[in-house]
């Protein structure tokens, strides 16, 4: 059973929230406006969910928010360690902030999350970016009010990157941007140690929230009118293994399915080795669970899968997919793929393409391998050149784009139930939402439809989205 952050510790953080709030009220009274905070998130949905906690604590402490770096009194970057380019972006941003801070001495700059949970990164920040005031890792997130208070009052960089398998902090205030959809973390950390992945080192071992805590959060969301719940964990199929109860992830889904007000349930991520028949039946049987499955296969060659420590073969993966398709005929499938793992040859890569062709995923999230210091794969030598890896990556996209377009073509003429998210990013006269299978659907409609479920007839397909027309009731 995972350790919980104690009530005393929670109360301590609450007292720092109150201290910050008093200061912020004084500031607002003197200046005629509140102090402004800016948060920026890199990486996965877990990080997005963590940023919602950071913003919740800041809001309760009396900060308002801005997206203008020049106007911000506090900037917090919640960082990702999964790929090198996300780290480079953060370092680039810190370089820009240095100049802004030269004229704004009181500005507080914070960096948190997976990237700074790695000691060599924190050392680099301390050495090269002395203008950073606050550094805290994934395990110290709940202590942000205290750390921020210290950073605002002590004239030195405050650092907390305690190494721990992590305790669970319940009852942290959250500020969510979207009132119709919510991420709900069901577990944290990962025990799988895929050889290329830094996550188990920066997020600690698997620990599940109790079913009571998860269900309480979902009920509260549903009571406020939030209808789409996405259950979140690095490997949701391991949910419950560390709990004293018999509840596993399938049981948890069924409990969420019974909550009034919830209309859609999604979840991610599932590790193929742990995808059980029970979970497949649960997706098929629960009316609110979207018929959509994200099942990362990463590579098609058994040799590469072994070196990645993925603990399944290509044949085993394909067998699971066949089972899923048989039980849930209209399921929409997506996956993650890594191209250019150090020992991958062109022949190995052909096996990856073979999986794409056999499964016919609706869409894929593809990445070129990124070397992560401290992982076993970082010690391996590359077989292919950069150029060859990029050529393979482009071929992968070509093959998948053709499949995705074909999959989307099959939607034309169908009527899809769409939850309207907002105005399209590319055309302000067009609304955008997602259908049950999570495909983006664009259509003309009145802004009053935002937040509602409506029926849309699909009239046109693209590789990444669908166009449609609102159906009259
Ligand atoms: S399952 Fe593998 S890839 Fe996913 S977070 Fe865990 S170690 Fe990383």
- In the predicted model, is pLDDT for residue 25 greater than 80? yes
pLDDT at 141: 94
Q: Whose CA is nearest to atom 4 of ligand 1?
A: 234
| Closest ligand 1 atom to 197 CA | 8
Q: Is the pLDDT of residue 443 over 70?
A: yes
Which pLDDT does position 308 carry in this prediction? 98
Instruction: Kindly report, residue by residue over 29-46, the tens digit of the pLDDT.
Output: 999 999 999 999 999 999
Q: Which residues contact 206 (CB under 8 A, 6 or more apart)?
A: 187, 188, 189, 190, 191, 234, 235, 238, 241, 242
pLDDT at 177: 86
For ligand 1, atom 2, name the residue with the nearest CA.
194
The confidence score (pLDDT) of residue 473 equals 66
Domains of the chain: 7-160 (3.40.50.280), 178-290 (3.30.750.210), 318-410 (3.30.750.200), 415-470 (2.40.50)
Supply the residue whose CA is at minimum distance from atom 8 of ligand 1.
Answer: 197
pLDDT mean over 382-401: 98
Distance (Å) from CA 199 to ligand 1 centroid? 6
Beta strands in 329-452 (DSSP E): 332-339, 363-368, 415-423, 430-435, 440-444
Q: What distance in angstroms lies between residue 198's CA and the mean position of ligand 1's atoms?
A: 8
pLDDT digits (tens, 9 = 90+) for 365-385: 999 999 999 999 999 999 999
Ligand 1 atom nearest to CA at 271: 1
Percent of the chain with pLDDT over 70: 99
The reported pLDDT for the residue numbered 44 is 92
Question: Mutation test of ligand 1: which of 197, 268, 369 has the most ligand atoms closer than 8 Å to its C-beta?
Answer: 197
Q: What are phi and psi of 396, to 5 degrees?
A: -55, -45
pLDDT tens readout for residues 141-190: 999 999 999 999 997 899 999 877 668 989 899 999 899 999 999 999 99
Residue 413 CB contacts under 8 Å (≥ 6 apart), including other chains: 457, 458
CB 399 within 8 A of CB 356: yes
Residue 4's pLDDT is what? Answer: 87
In the predicted structure, residue 426 carries a pLDDT above the cut 90: no
The pLDDT of 418-423, averaged and rounded, is 96
Q: Mean pLDDT over residues 83-104, rounded?
A: 94
Average pLDDT value for residue range 444-452: 94
Which of 117, 188, 190, 202, when mutated, tests ligand 1's pocket best, judged by the most ligand atoms within 8 Å of its CB? 190
CB contact burial 360-376 (16+ within 10 A = b; e otherwise): ebbbbebbbbbebeebe
Mean pLDDT value across the chain: 95
**Residue 1: pLDDT band with limits 50, 70, 90:** confident
Atom of ligand 1 nearest to the CA of 191: 6
Helix axes of 144-153 and 7-31: crossing angle, nearest 10 degrees: 50
Which atom of ligand 1 is nearest to 203's Cα?
5
Ligand 1 binding pocket (C-beta < 6 A) is: 190, 192-194, 197, 199-200, 234-235, 271
Question: Tell me, what's the pLDDT at 427?
Answer: 85
Ligand 1 centroid, distance to 31 Cα (angstroms): 48
Task: For residues 129-149, give the mean pLDDT.
Answer: 95
* Ligand 1 centre distance from Cα of residue 296 (Å): 10
Q: CB neighbours (10 Å) of residue 432?
A: 20
């Amino acid at each position: 059973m995972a350790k919980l952050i104690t009530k005393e510790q929670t109360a301590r953080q609450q007292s720092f929230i109150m201290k910050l709030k008093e200061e912020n009220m004084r500031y607002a009274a003197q200046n005629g406006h509140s102090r402004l905070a800016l948060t920026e998130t890199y990486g996965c949905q877990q990080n997005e969910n963590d940023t919602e906690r950071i913003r919740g604590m800041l809001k309760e402490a009396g900060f308002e928010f801005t997206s203008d770096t020049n106007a911000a009194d506090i900037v917090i970057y919640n960082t990702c360690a999964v790929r090198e380019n996300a780290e480079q972006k953060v370092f680039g941003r810190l370089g820009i902030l240095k100049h802004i801070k030269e004229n704004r001495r009181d500005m507080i700059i914070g960096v948190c999350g997976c990237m700074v949970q790695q000691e060599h990164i924190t050392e680099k920040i301390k050495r090269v970016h002395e203008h950073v005031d606050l550094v805290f890792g994934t395990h110290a997130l709940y202590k942000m009010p205290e750390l921020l208070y210290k950073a605002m009052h002590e004239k030195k960089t405050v650092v907390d990157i305690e190494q721990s398998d992590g305790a669970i902090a319940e009852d942290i205030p959250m500020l969510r941007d979207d009132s119709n959809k919510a991420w709900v973390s069901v577990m944290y950390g990962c025990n799988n140690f895929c050889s290329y992945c830094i996550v188990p080192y920066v997020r600690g071992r698997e620990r599940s929230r109790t079913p009571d805590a998860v269900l309480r959060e979902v009920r509260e969301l549903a009571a406020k009118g939030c209808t789409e719940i996405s259950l979140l964990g690095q490997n949701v199929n391991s949910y419950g293994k560390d709990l004293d109860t018999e509840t596993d992830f399938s049981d948890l889904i069924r409990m969420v399915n019974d909550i009034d007000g919830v209309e859609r349930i999604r979840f991610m991520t599932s590790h193929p080795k742990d995808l059980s028949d029970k979970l497949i039946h649960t997706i098929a049987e629960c009316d609110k669970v979207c018929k959509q499955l994200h099942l990362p296969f990463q590579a098609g060659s058994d040799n590469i899968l072994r070196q990645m420590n993925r603990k399944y073969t290509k044949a085993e993966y394909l067998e699971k997919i066949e089972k899923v398709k048989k039980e849930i005929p209209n399921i929409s499938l997506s996956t993650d793929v890594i191209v250019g793992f150090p020992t991958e040859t062109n022949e190995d890569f052909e096996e990856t393409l073979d999986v794409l062709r056999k499964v016919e995923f609706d869409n894929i999230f593809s990445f070129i391998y990124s070397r992560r210091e401290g992982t076993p794969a970082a010690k391996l030598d590359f077989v292919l050149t950069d150029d060859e890896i990029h050529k393979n990556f482009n071929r992968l996209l070509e093959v998948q784009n053709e499949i995705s377009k074909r999959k989307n073509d099959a939607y034309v003429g169908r009527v899809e139930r769409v939850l309207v998210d907002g105005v399209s990013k590319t055309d302000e006269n067009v609304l955008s939402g997602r259908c049950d299978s999570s495909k983006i659907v664009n259509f003309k409609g009145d802004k009053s439809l935002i937040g509602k479920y409506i029926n849309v007839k699909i009239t046109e397909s693209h590789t990444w989205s669908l166009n449609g027309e609102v159906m009259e009731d």
